[in-house]
Every structure is written in structure tokens, then in C-alpha cells.
């Protein structure tokens, strides 16, 4: 039985946008402030902040306070739910491809 999609669904929604995927990639390398993230994109800081809010609501990132600064960091545990769901299909394809191989070899 596959892992529950309901835990992974918010993560998939958050990662459906290429900008948010790029932000996740940046945060996989290091924790960053909003301004540091915005420097990588041709959009305003408020636009980046909206993307960060979506990622935060899906628990993909965490935001911590360091004095007056807000530091964004990746939450790998949230990505694991999506990864577990996708990994289920690895087994599905392994089984299907093994069956196809057997069928092709039987006909040969």
C-alpha cells in the first residue's frame, strides 16, 4: 500500500511553482534571509516573501528570528513525505519492468 498522499499533498502544491523549487534548492545549500533569496530572482522582495509564505505553510521551510532578521531554512522532514510517496512508484515500475523483461525474454 502506498504512503498517504494527504501528508505529501501540501508539499507537492508548494513545489508546483518553479520559483519555489529554485528557492528550495537555494535553501538546501544554506539558510538565507529574504533579501539574500530575492537577490537571486528578478522580482520584488514582497513577491519572494509570498513564495516563502507558501513554502512555510506547507512546512517545507522554517523561519527563525535572529535579532531583527528572519532566517529561512529548509525542513527536510516535509520533503521526506513527498519522497516516500514517490518512492512507492519506484517499486511499481521495478515490478512492471521486470514483468516486461520476462515477457520479452519468453518470446525470444
The most distant pair of C-alpha atoms in the chain lies apart, rounded to whole Å, by: 70
pLDDT of residue 3: 56
**Alpha helix (H) ranges present in 2-75?**
5-14, 18-29, 34-38, 45-57
Containing 86, the helix (H) or strand (E) segment is helix 76-107
Q: What is the pLDDT of residues 68-106, one digit of tens each?
A: 999 999 999 989 888 888 888 777 777 777 778 888 888
Q: What is the pLDDT of residues 38-61, one digit of tens each?
A: 999 999 999 999 999 999 999 999
pLDDT of residue 1: 44
Containing 70, the helix (H) or strand (E) segment is strand 69-74
**pLDDT reading at 2 higher than 70:** no
Q: Classify domain 5-107 at the CATH topology level.
A: Arc Repressor Mutant, subunit A (1.10.10)
How far the first Cα of the chain sits from its last, in Å, is: 34
CA dist 81 and 16 (Å) reads 15
What are the domain boundaries of the chain?
5-107
Report the relative pairing of strands 69-74 and 32-33 from DSSP bridges.
antiparallel
Amino acid at each position: 500500500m502506498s504512503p498517504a498522499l494527504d501528508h505529501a499533498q501540501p508539499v507537492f502544491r508548494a513545489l508546483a511553482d518553479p520559483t519555489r523549487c529554485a528557492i528550495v534548492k537555494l535553501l538546501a545549500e544554506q539558510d538565507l534571509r529574504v533579501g539574500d533569496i530575492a537577490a537571486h530572482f528578478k522580482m520584488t522582495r514582497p513577491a519572494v516573501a509570498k513564495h516563502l509564505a507558501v513554502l512555510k505553510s506547507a512546512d517545507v521551510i522554517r523561519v527563525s528570528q535572529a535579532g531583527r532578521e528572519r532566517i529561512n531554512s529548509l525542513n527536510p522532514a516535509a520533503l521526506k513525505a513527498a519522497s516516500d510517496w514517490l518512492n512507492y512508484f519506484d517499486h511499481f515500475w521495478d515490478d512492471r519492468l521486470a514483468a516486461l523483461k520476462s515477457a520479452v525474454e519468453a518470446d525470444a
